[in-house]
């Protein structure tokens, strides 16, 4: 994928999808800067990735909802590596619940977590990409940007803005050899999905195994996705061969989305 020695910034990477992206990029030879809110957990993730791949991994504590922390994170990364080529924006998901369960403050918090964190990370790292005339931005969203999910109203609302932002950005920076895309996972088996499925089982008074079986049965691929499959997609979008793919939203959902486009 021609990622050798590229500097890749991966947000919210101590576990789950962010961790899988960090692992995939490191396996392709990229140097990493990763963050999450907890120093111990992000350091442990960095040690594991370094051991597995031999890549340089800078691990920093950063809550992506905190503007000052994002600015410190970017300053440290740019000071350490001198630039950044790839940015994967990511954060945790907002709490589950249906549309009328929440007030405006809850929606504002979700927008802060998923949309404004994306904008802050882009603002922090884009100038370095523009200076070198090469950049890849991949923003994590959800299948909910195509098809809202029941009981994930906060996520449905906040993530739609990420697609609009990344699309607008892609048009502005394409001529600088910078691509910007969003990835939209259906169900990928991470700790968060495990937790959401346990919650659903409790709500519906069913066993966790039944809920997982039913969910897999509703997916044309008949299974929940793997984090390494998600990491592989993002690594490709971040690569040189993906230079002409920009402003798009790629589903990774085992065929779960029901629409045509
Ligand atoms: P996860 O809970 O397993 O991992 C989330 C990671 O984000 C952890 O490393 C955590 O420390 C970090 N994090 C959370 N809030 C943060 C913050 N404010 N600042 C910095 N780091 C933070 O979740 P996941 O399954 O890997 O999902 C990642 C994102 O993708 C979430 O927003 C989730 O809602 C979304 N998503 C996941 C799936 C899926 O199938 N896994 C599907 C659709 C959307």
- pLDDT given at position 2: 87
For ligand 1, pick from 95, 144, 190 the residue to mutate: most ligand atoms within 8 Å of CB: 190
The pLDDT-based confidence of 248 (bands split at 50, 70, 90) is very high
Mean of all residue pLDDT scores within the chain: 96
Percent of the chain with pLDDT over 90: 95
For ligand 1, pick from 69, 88, 93 the residue to mutate: most ligand atoms within 8 Å of CB: 93
Nearest CA to ligand 1 atom 14: 92
pTM, entire model: 0.97
Q: What is the pLDDT of residues 72-122, one digit of tens each?
A: 999 999 999 999 999 999 999 999 899 999 999 999 999 999 999 999 999
Angle between helices 67-81 and 117-132 (to 10 degrees): 20
**CA contacts within 13 A on the Cβ side of 101:** 11
Query: Measured from the CA of 188, which atom of ligand 1 is nearest?
Result: 40
Name which residue leads in pLDDT, 261 or 234.
Answer: 234
Percent of the chain with pLDDT over 70: 100
Phi/psi class of residue 222: alpha, beta or left (left: φ > 0; alpha: ψ in -120 to 50)?
left
The SS3 call for residue 213 is helix
Please provide the size of the chain in residues. Answer: 261
Query: Measured from the CA of 65, which atom of ligand 1 is nearest?
Result: 18
Distance 131 CA to ligand 1 centre (A): 30
Q: What is the pLDDT of residues 156-181, one digit of tens each?
A: 999 999 999 999 999 999 999 999 99
Q: What is the pLDDT of residues 220-245, one digit of tens each?
A: 999 999 999 999 999 999 999 999 99
Which residue ranges have their beta carbon within 6 Å of ligand 1? 12, 14-18, 36-37, 63-65, 90-93, 140, 142, 155, 185, 187-188, 190-193
Quick one: average pLDDT of 15-28? 98
Distance 192 CA to ligand 1 centre (A): 7
Query: Measured from the CA of 225, which atom of ligand 1 is nearest?
Result: 40
Distance 226 CA to ligand 1 centre (A): 14
């Amino acid at each position: 994928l021609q990622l050798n020695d590229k500097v890749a910034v991966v947000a919210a990477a101590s576990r789950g999808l962010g961790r899988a992206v960090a692992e995939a990029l490191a396996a392709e030879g990229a140097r990493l800067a990763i963050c999450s809110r907890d120093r111990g957990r992000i350091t442990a993730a960095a040690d594991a990735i370094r051991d597995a791949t031999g890549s340089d991994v800078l691990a920093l504590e950063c809550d992506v909802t905190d503007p000052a922390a994002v600015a410190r994170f970017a300053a440290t990364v740019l000071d350490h590596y001198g630039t950044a080529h790839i940015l994967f924006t990511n954060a945790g998901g907002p709490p589950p619940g249906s549309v009328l369960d929440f007030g405006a403050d809850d929606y504002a918090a979700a927008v802060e977590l998923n949309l404004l964190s994306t904008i802050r990370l882009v603002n922090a790292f884009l100038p370095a990409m523009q200076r070198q005339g090469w950049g890849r931005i991949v923003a994590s969203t959800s299948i909910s940007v195509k098809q809202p999910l029941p009981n994930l109203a906060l996520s449905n609302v906040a993530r739609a803005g990420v697609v609009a932002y990344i699309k607008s950005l892609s048009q502005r920076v394409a001529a600088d050899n910078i691509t910007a895309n969003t990835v939209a996972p259906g169900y990928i088996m991470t700790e968060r999905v495990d937790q959401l499925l346990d919650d659903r089982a409790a709500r519906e008074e069913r066993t966790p195994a039944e809920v997982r079986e039913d969910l897999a049965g509703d997916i044309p691929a008949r299974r929940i996705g793997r984090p390494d499959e998600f990491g592989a997609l993002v690594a490709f979008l971040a690569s040189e061969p993906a230079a002409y793919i920009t402003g798009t939203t790629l589903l990774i959902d085992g065929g779960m989305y029901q629409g045509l486009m």
